[in-house]
Amino acid sequence: MDIVCLDMEGTLTPEIWEQVAIDSGISEFNKTTRDIPSYTELMDYRLSIIKQNDLKLTDILDATKKLDLLDGALDFLNQVRREFQVVILSDTFHEIAYPLMEKLGHPLLLCHNLKVDHEDNILGYKLRDLNAKRQAILGFQSMGYRCLAAGDSYNDLQMFEVADQGFFINAPENITSSMSEIPNFKNYSDLFDALRNYSQY
């Protein structure tokens, strides 16, 4: 049995922080790992903006609740579930991802946690591991599973380095052009066909 490991934001859902930027009017929230590849640097940057503007966890959650899944994402995920085990490996946080997990039918999500006080202030974050996506796949492989991975950004390269096969989906050209050895797909139908074809080897 193969496990399909999928990124969340940019792969199945829009970017949460881009919606936060729209709601708050703070354009600096638009930066993602496509712009700042180091996730700790990116999160430290976001937290500084949150504190400067006195935003609460509720503000971030309100933005998340407004997001719809990417077009075709749920159908794709349901297709994959019928033929594979599926896990979402994301650098998001459980505390803000819940509304999107509801829309995805609550797949297994392995991600990080925010540190929040009793007044709803975001104090910091706790990373499972700096290379959590990579470590998760290595763990699955140690139990005899083959892992296929799909994502859209720099922080998914750690998955591709150890997965039995990695695929880009919805990735921008500045990333895919420098990683031409990784198959790149623009739609879920072609990605699903590639997953099925590879799983037959």
Cα 174 from Cα 47, distance rounded (Å): 27
* Predicted local confidence at residue 75, as pLDDT: 98
**Angle at alpha carbon of residue 59, lines to 57 and 60, rounded to 5°:** 65
Tell me phi and psi for residue 197, to 5 degrees.
Answer: -65, -45
Active site residue 181: no
Q: Which of 2, 7, 18, 95 is catalytic?
A: 7
Q: Which of 9, 18, 152, 156 is catalytic?
A: 9
Q: Where are the beta strands (DSSP E) in 33-107?
A: 85-93
What is the CATH architecture assignment of 2-12+69-112+129-199? Answer: 3-Layer(aba) Sandwich (3.40)
CB 65 within 8 A of CB 84: no
Domain assignments of the chain as residue spans, ordered by start:
2-12+69-112+129-199
| pTM for the predicted model, two decimal places | 0.93
Cα 84 from Cα 192, distance rounded (Å): 11
Walk along the chain (201 residues) and give the pLDDT tens digit of each residue. 799 999 999 999 999 999 999 999 999 999 877 688 788 899 999 999 999 999 999 999 999 999 999 999 999 999 999 999 999 999 999 999 999 999 999 999 999 999 999 999 999 999 988 899 999 999 999 999 999 999 998 889 999 999 999 999 989 888 888 888 999 999 999 999 999 999 865
Judge residue 40's burial from the number of C-beta atoms within 10 Å of its C-beta, 0-12 exposed, 13-18 middle, 19 or more buried: exposed
Helix axes 94-103, 16-24, angle to 10 degrees: 110
Instruction: Tell me the HSE value of 133 on the side-chain side, using a 13 A CA sphere.
Output: 27
Residue recorded with tokens 């492989």: 141
**Angle at alpha carbon of residue 130, lines to 157 and 4, rounded to 5°:** 45
* Predicted local confidence at residue 199, as pLDDT: 82
Active site residue 9: yes
Mapping DSSP to helix (H, G, I), strand (E, B) and coil, where does residue 49 land?
helix
- Integer-rounded Cα radius of gyration of the chain: 17
CA–CA distances in Å: residue 13 to residues 9, 10, 52, 178: 5, 6, 27, 24
Six token digits for residue 72: 């075709």
* Predicted local confidence at residue 201, as pLDDT: 58
